Amino acid sequence: MIIAIDGPSGAGKSTLGKMLARELDLLYLDTGAMYRAGALAVLRAGISFEDETGVAEAITAASIHLTGNSENLTVLLDGEDITAEIRTLEVAQAASRVSTNSAVRRRMVELQREMGERAERGCVLEGRDIGSVVFPNADVKFFLTAEPAARARRRFEEDKGKGRTSTFEQTLAEINERDERDVSRDDSPLQIPEGSEVIDTSELDLDEVFEQMLAVIRERKSAAA
Ligand code: DC
Protein backbone atom coordinates (compact mmCIF):
# COMPACT_ATOMS: atom_id res chain seq x y z
CA MET A 1 0.00 0.00 0.00
CA ILE A 2 1.30 3.45 -0.95
CA ILE A 3 0.05 6.49 0.97
CA ALA A 4 0.97 9.91 -0.42
CA ILE A 5 0.92 13.01 1.78
CA ASP A 6 1.53 16.40 0.20
CA GLY A 7 1.13 19.94 1.43
CA PRO A 8 2.99 23.09 2.44
CA SER A 9 5.46 23.21 5.31
CA GLY A 10 4.05 23.17 8.82
CA ALA A 11 0.75 21.49 7.86
CA GLY A 12 1.61 18.43 9.97
CA LYS A 13 2.77 16.07 7.20
CA SER A 14 5.79 14.65 9.04
CA THR A 15 4.13 14.07 12.38
CA LEU A 16 1.04 12.50 10.82
CA GLY A 17 3.04 10.54 8.25
CA LYS A 18 5.08 8.98 11.07
CA MET A 19 1.94 8.22 13.09
CA LEU A 20 0.33 6.50 10.09
CA ALA A 21 3.48 4.53 9.24
CA ARG A 22 3.67 3.26 12.82
CA GLU A 23 -0.02 2.40 13.03
CA LEU A 24 -0.06 0.56 9.71
CA ASP A 25 3.46 -0.87 9.92
CA LEU A 26 4.62 0.81 6.71
CA LEU A 27 7.94 2.33 5.72
CA TYR A 28 8.05 6.11 6.23
CA LEU A 29 9.84 8.31 3.69
CA ASP A 30 10.41 11.98 4.40
CA THR A 31 11.22 13.18 0.87
CA GLY A 32 11.89 16.74 2.07
CA ALA A 33 14.80 15.31 4.07
CA MET A 34 16.27 14.04 0.79
CA TYR A 35 16.09 17.51 -0.82
CA ARG A 36 17.61 18.90 2.37
CA ALA A 37 20.47 16.37 2.19
CA GLY A 38 21.10 17.32 -1.45
CA ALA A 39 21.05 21.00 -0.49
CA LEU A 40 23.63 20.38 2.23
CA ALA A 41 25.91 18.69 -0.32
CA VAL A 42 25.65 21.82 -2.49
CA LEU A 43 26.29 24.18 0.44
CA ARG A 44 29.30 22.16 1.56
CA ALA A 45 30.76 22.12 -1.95
CA GLY A 46 30.37 25.92 -2.10
CA ILE A 47 28.40 25.71 -5.36
CA SER A 48 26.21 28.69 -6.27
CA PHE A 49 22.47 27.97 -6.55
CA GLU A 50 22.57 29.83 -9.87
CA ASP A 51 24.90 27.14 -11.26
CA GLU A 52 22.20 24.67 -12.33
CA THR A 53 24.62 22.14 -13.82
CA GLY A 54 26.92 22.27 -10.79
CA VAL A 55 23.98 21.82 -8.42
CA ALA A 56 22.65 18.85 -10.42
CA GLU A 57 26.08 17.23 -10.62
CA ALA A 58 26.80 17.62 -6.91
CA ILE A 59 23.45 16.10 -5.96
CA THR A 60 23.60 13.27 -8.48
CA ALA A 61 27.08 12.37 -7.23
CA ALA A 62 26.01 12.43 -3.57
CA SER A 63 24.85 9.28 -1.89
CA ILE A 64 21.65 10.08 0.02
CA HIS A 65 20.09 7.45 2.26
CA LEU A 66 17.25 7.33 4.74
CA THR A 67 17.59 4.59 7.33
CA GLY A 68 15.88 3.53 10.53
CA ASN A 69 12.14 3.67 11.11
CA SER A 70 9.49 6.34 11.54
CA GLU A 71 10.43 6.80 15.22
CA ASN A 72 14.06 7.23 14.49
CA LEU A 73 14.80 8.28 10.95
CA THR A 74 18.46 8.81 10.12
CA VAL A 75 19.55 10.77 7.07
CA LEU A 76 22.93 9.88 5.62
CA LEU A 77 24.96 11.95 3.17
CA ASP A 78 27.90 9.97 1.79
CA GLY A 79 27.68 7.79 4.87
CA GLU A 80 27.69 10.67 7.38
CA ASP A 81 24.75 11.17 9.75
CA ILE A 82 23.36 14.63 8.91
CA THR A 83 19.93 14.18 10.54
CA ALA A 84 20.30 17.19 12.84
CA GLU A 85 22.29 19.39 10.49
CA ILE A 86 19.59 19.51 7.79
CA ARG A 87 17.04 21.05 10.17
CA THR A 88 18.48 24.56 10.06
CA LEU A 89 16.78 27.52 8.37
CA GLU A 90 19.71 27.81 5.99
CA VAL A 91 19.31 24.23 4.78
CA ALA A 92 15.50 24.59 4.53
CA GLN A 93 15.90 27.58 2.24
CA ALA A 94 18.65 25.86 0.25
CA ALA A 95 16.43 22.77 -0.18
CA SER A 96 13.63 24.91 -1.54
CA ARG A 97 16.09 26.44 -4.03
CA VAL A 98 17.69 23.21 -5.27
CA SER A 99 14.25 21.62 -5.58
CA THR A 100 13.48 23.95 -8.52
CA ASN A 101 16.20 22.12 -10.52
CA SER A 102 14.66 19.54 -12.91
CA ALA A 103 17.69 17.24 -12.99
CA VAL A 104 17.68 17.18 -9.18
CA ARG A 105 13.97 16.38 -9.13
CA ARG A 106 14.40 13.53 -11.62
CA ARG A 107 17.09 12.00 -9.44
CA MET A 108 15.03 12.32 -6.25
CA VAL A 109 11.88 10.92 -7.85
CA GLU A 110 13.87 7.92 -9.11
CA LEU A 111 15.29 7.23 -5.62
CA GLN A 112 11.88 7.67 -3.98
CA ARG A 113 10.16 5.27 -6.38
CA GLU A 114 12.90 2.68 -5.83
CA MET A 115 12.57 2.90 -2.05
CA GLY A 116 8.78 2.95 -2.11
CA GLU A 117 8.53 -0.04 -4.44
CA ARG A 118 11.06 -2.03 -2.44
CA ALA A 119 9.09 -1.65 0.81
CA GLU A 120 7.44 -5.01 1.34
CA ARG A 121 4.32 -3.90 3.18
CA GLY A 122 4.17 -0.50 1.54
CA CYS A 123 5.14 3.01 2.33
CA VAL A 124 3.98 6.41 3.55
CA LEU A 125 5.71 9.18 1.61
CA GLU A 126 5.41 12.84 2.43
CA GLY A 127 6.49 15.79 0.32
CA ARG A 128 5.25 18.23 -2.31
CA ASP A 129 4.90 16.11 -5.46
CA ILE A 130 4.17 12.60 -4.16
CA GLY A 131 0.56 12.24 -5.35
CA SER A 132 1.16 14.26 -8.51
CA VAL A 133 4.50 12.90 -9.76
CA VAL A 134 6.23 10.25 -7.61
CA PHE A 135 3.25 7.94 -7.07
CA PRO A 136 0.29 9.30 -9.06
CA ASN A 137 -1.41 5.91 -8.59
CA ALA A 138 -0.97 5.87 -4.81
CA ASP A 139 -3.69 3.92 -2.98
CA VAL A 140 -4.57 6.96 -0.88
CA LYS A 141 -3.55 10.58 -1.40
CA PHE A 142 -3.79 13.28 1.23
CA PHE A 143 -3.24 16.99 0.88
CA LEU A 144 -2.74 18.57 4.29
CA THR A 145 -2.94 22.29 4.54
CA ALA A 146 -3.45 25.02 7.16
CA GLU A 147 -3.54 28.79 7.38
CA PRO A 148 -0.03 30.31 7.14
CA ALA A 149 -0.28 31.73 10.68
CA ALA A 150 -1.20 28.30 12.09
CA ARG A 151 1.69 26.64 10.25
CA ALA A 152 4.14 29.33 11.37
CA ARG A 153 2.96 28.98 14.98
CA ARG A 154 3.64 25.23 14.94
CA ARG A 155 7.04 25.68 13.33
CA PHE A 156 7.86 28.44 15.83
CA GLU A 157 6.95 26.22 18.81
CA GLU A 158 8.92 23.33 17.33
CA ASP A 159 12.00 25.53 16.82
CA LYS A 160 11.68 26.93 20.34
CA GLY A 161 11.64 23.37 21.65
CA LYS A 162 14.92 22.79 19.84
CA GLY A 163 16.42 25.90 21.41
CA ARG A 164 16.32 28.15 18.36
CA THR A 165 15.59 31.84 18.70
CA SER A 166 13.82 33.13 15.58
CA THR A 167 10.85 35.37 16.26
CA PHE A 168 7.33 34.39 15.18
CA GLU A 169 7.46 37.06 12.44
CA GLN A 170 10.72 35.62 11.07
CA THR A 171 9.25 32.13 11.04
CA LEU A 172 6.13 33.35 9.23
CA ALA A 173 8.21 35.23 6.64
CA GLU A 174 10.40 32.16 6.09
CA ILE A 175 7.40 29.89 5.60
CA ASN A 176 5.76 32.33 3.19
CA GLU A 177 8.93 32.68 1.14
CA ARG A 178 9.39 28.93 0.87
CA ASP A 179 5.73 28.28 0.04
CA GLU A 180 5.83 30.91 -2.67
CA ARG A 181 8.84 29.23 -4.28
CA ASP A 182 7.34 25.73 -3.91
CA VAL A 183 4.00 26.65 -5.55
CA SER A 184 5.42 28.80 -8.32
CA ARG A 185 8.30 26.66 -9.63
CA ASP A 186 7.88 25.32 -13.18
CA ASP A 187 8.76 21.70 -12.46
CA SER A 188 6.33 19.80 -10.22
CA PRO A 189 5.00 22.76 -8.23
CA LEU A 190 3.17 22.09 -4.99
CA GLN A 191 -0.43 21.46 -6.00
CA ILE A 192 -3.41 19.45 -4.84
CA PRO A 193 -3.02 16.12 -6.67
CA GLU A 194 -6.03 14.75 -8.48
CA GLY A 195 -8.04 12.42 -6.29
CA SER A 196 -6.57 13.61 -3.00
CA GLU A 197 -8.37 14.02 0.28
CA VAL A 198 -7.82 17.62 1.37
CA ILE A 199 -7.68 18.25 5.12
CA ASP A 200 -7.32 21.74 6.58
CA THR A 201 -5.55 21.20 9.89
CA SER A 202 -5.70 24.84 11.12
CA GLU A 203 -8.39 24.21 13.71
CA LEU A 204 -7.84 20.51 14.34
CA ASP A 205 -5.58 18.83 16.83
CA LEU A 206 -3.26 16.04 15.76
CA ASP A 207 -5.45 13.18 16.95
CA GLU A 208 -8.46 14.50 15.08
CA VAL A 209 -6.52 14.67 11.81
CA PHE A 210 -5.02 11.23 12.47
CA GLU A 211 -8.48 9.70 12.99
CA GLN A 212 -9.79 11.36 9.82
CA MET A 213 -6.87 10.00 7.82
CA LEU A 214 -7.25 6.50 9.24
CA ALA A 215 -10.97 6.55 8.43
CA VAL A 216 -10.22 7.44 4.80
CA ILE A 217 -7.60 4.67 4.55
CA ARG A 218 -9.97 2.06 6.03
CA GLU A 219 -12.73 3.15 3.69
CA ARG A 220 -10.43 2.82 0.64
CA LYS A 221 -9.16 -0.54 1.84
CA SER A 222 -12.64 -1.96 2.24
CA ALA A 223 -13.75 -0.51 -1.12
CA ALA A 224 -10.75 -2.21 -2.78
CA ALA A 225 -11.31 -5.56 -1.02
O1 DC B 1 9.30 19.24 3.80
P2 DC B 1 10.58 20.01 3.97
O3 DC B 1 10.38 21.36 4.58
O4 DC B 1 11.63 19.22 4.67
O5 DC B 1 11.10 20.24 2.46
C6 DC B 1 12.23 21.03 2.17
C7 DC B 1 12.10 21.61 0.75
O8 DC B 1 12.20 20.55 -0.20
C9 DC B 1 10.76 22.28 0.46
O10 DC B 1 10.84 23.68 0.53
C11 DC B 1 10.41 21.88 -0.95
C12 DC B 1 11.30 20.73 -1.28
N13 DC B 1 10.58 19.49 -1.52
C14 DC B 1 10.12 19.26 -2.79
O15 DC B 1 10.28 20.09 -3.67
N16 DC B 1 9.51 18.07 -3.09
C17 DC B 1 9.32 17.15 -2.14
N18 DC B 1 8.72 16.00 -2.48
C19 DC B 1 9.74 17.38 -0.82
C20 DC B 1 10.36 18.59 -0.53
- Tell whether 99 and 209 lie within a shared domain: no
The DSSP output letter for 190 is: S
Residue type, position 13, single letter: K
Using CA positions, which residue lies closest to atom 4 of ligand 1?
32
Domain end: 103, 118, 133, which one? 118
- Tell whether 155 and 184 lie within a shared domain: yes
Give residue 222 CA to ligand 1 midpoint distance, Å. 32
pLDDT confidence of residue 28: 95
Residue 128, ligand 1, Cβ within 6 A: yes
pLDDT confidence of residue 71: 82
- Tell whether 36 and 110 lie within a shared domain: yes
- Tell whether 151 and 79 lie within a shared domain: no
CA distances from 126 to 27, 80, 96, 196 (A): 11, 23, 15, 13
Give residue 32 CA to ligand 1 midpoint distance, Å. 4
Domain at 134, CATH number: 3.40.50.300
Give residue 208 CA to ligand 1 midpoint distance, Å. 25
- Tell whether 143 and 214 lie within a shared domain: yes
- Tell whether 112 and 145 lie within a shared domain: no
Measured distance CA(18)–CA(32) in Å, rounded: 14
Q: Please check whether residue 193 is in contact with residue 141, taking contact to mean a CB–CB distance below 8 angstroms.
A: yes
- Tell whether 46 and 76 lie within a shared domain: yes
Residue 223 located in a structural domain = no
Note the pLDDT tens digit of each residue in 132-173. 999 999 999 999 999 999 999 988 888 787 777 789 999 999
Domain end: 118, 144, 164, which one? 118
- Tell whether 35 and 60 lie within a shared domain: yes
Residue 184 located in a structural domain = yes
Residue 224 located in a structural domain = no
Number of domains the chain is built from: 2
Identify which of 13, 31, 85, 102 to mutate to test ligand 1's pocket (most ligand atoms within 8 A of the CB).
31
Ranges of the chain with pLDDT below 70: none
- Closest approach atom of ligand 1 to CA 130: 18
- Tell whether 62 and 72 lie within a shared domain: yes
* b/e per residue 60-84 (b: at least 16 CB within 10 A): eebebebeeebeebebbbeeeebbe
User: What is the pTM (predicted TM-score) of this model?
Assistant: 0.95
- Tell whether 19 and 129 lie within a shared domain: yes
- Tell whether 142 and 32 lie within a shared domain: no
pLDDT confidence of residue 152: 93
Residue 225 located in a structural domain = no
**Which residue range(s) make up the domain with 44?**
27-118
Q: Which of 183, 163, 186 is nearest to 175 (CA)?
A: 183
Residue 70 located in a structural domain = yes
- Tell whether 5 and 63 lie within a shared domain: no
Residues 6 or more apart whose CB falls under 8 angstroms from that of 73 comprise 28, 30, 33, 66, 67, 83
Domain end: 93, 118, 143, which one? 118
